């Protein structure tokens, strides 16, 4: 009896976040930089989108290893939201740790990031691709040793002069952008839900065509 109880105890300790064996896990990663000085910058749109999801569903983030984690369970799915605390350029370390920790299949991982190559507010979902010069994606690619992971790219535009790219992405949203932000964040939440429940292909077909 003791050995059985011990086995059950350690089985329940494998996951920090209480998933059942039948529950499908999805790791939803919002990329960004920690610290109040970065909170409202374009580079932190990944944080902003997962924060918006958490707010709508009354979720709380808890500080854990390499990032803040929030959990949403619905209809047999577990959404594991991650905001890495490693700063943008080392995002891969946190992503790899939580994939391995919670045994999330790579096809169930979604990375949310800003994209200078898309007009403001344009969203694109892709199942694979290059990092395109984005340091967060570059580090994820390096740590996972693959480009075959899903990414949700949010266009921030490229309204900057030559050599001012860093200032632009680390700059705060302007008034016009903020006027449209609520609608865009709501769309981001719907995309995440569709990715989890409808899958990559259907979600790409629906959301990519709407832009």
**For 20-71, how does the pLDDT look when each residue is reduced to its tens digit (9 = 90+)?**
567 899 999 999 999 999 999 999 999 999 999 999 999 999 999 999 999 9
Q: Active-site residue among 43, 52, 131, 134? A: 43
Which domains, ranges and CATH numbers included, belong to the chain? 22-207 (3.40.50.1470)
43 is catalytic: yes
Question: What DSSP state is assigned to residue 173?
Answer: P
> What value does the mean pLDDT take over residues 162-185?
94
Question: Which one, of 69, 65, 102, lies nearest residue 86 by Cα?
Answer: 65
Separation between Cα atoms, residue 90 and residue 75, nearest integer Å: 33
- Summarised one tens digit per residue, pLDDT across range 64-74 is 999 999 999 99
Q: Is 87 annotated as a binding residue?
A: yes
Question: Which one, of 163, 167, 170, lies nearest residue 43 by Cα?
Answer: 170
Q: Which residues contact 124 (CB under 8 A, 6 or more apart)?
A: 115, 118, 152, 153, 155, 208, 211
Expressed in angstroms, the distance from the first to the final Cα of the chain is 60
Separation between Cα atoms, residue 111 and residue 104, nearest integer Å: 13
* Strand, coil or helix: 12: helix
Q: For the chain, what is the mean pLDDT?
A: 91
Question: Which one, of 123, 112, 139, lies nearest residue 30 by Cα?
Answer: 112
Contact criterion met (CB below 8 Å) for 156 and 49: no
Q: What is the dihedral of CA 45, 194, 97, 37, to 10 degrees?
A: 10
Q: Is 60 annotated as a binding residue?
A: no
Q: Is 38 annotated as a binding residue?
A: yes
Q: Does the pTM of the predicted model rise above 0.85? A: yes
What is the pLDDT at residue 100?
A: 97
């Amino acid at each position: 009896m003791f050995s059985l109880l011990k086995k059950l105890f350690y089985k329940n300790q494998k996951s920090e976040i209480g998933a059942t064996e039948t529950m499908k896990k999805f790791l939803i990663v919002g990329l960004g930089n920690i610290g109040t000085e970065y909170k409202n910058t374009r580079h932190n749109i990944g944080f902003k989108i997962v924060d918006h999801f958490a707010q709508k569903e009354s979720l709380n983030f808890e500080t854990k290893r390499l990032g803040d984690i929030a959990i949403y369970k619905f209809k047999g799915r577990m959404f594991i939201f991650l905001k890495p605390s490693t700063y943008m350029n080392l995002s891969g370390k946190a992503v790899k740790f939580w994939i391995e920790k919670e045994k999330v299949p790579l096809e169930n991982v979604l990375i949310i990031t800003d994209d200078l190559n898309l007009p403001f507010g344009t969203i694109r979902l892709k199942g694979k691709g290059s990092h395109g010069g984005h340091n967060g994606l570059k580090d994820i690619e390096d740590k996972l040793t693959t480009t075959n992971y899903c990414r949700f790219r949010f266009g921030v535009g490229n309204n900057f002069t030559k050599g001012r790219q860093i200032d632009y992405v680390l700059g705060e949203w302007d008034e016009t952008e903020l006027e449209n932000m609520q609608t865009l964040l709501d769309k981001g939440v719907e995309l995440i839900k569709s990715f989890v429940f409808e899958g990559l292909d259907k979600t790409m077909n629906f959301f990519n065509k709407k832009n």
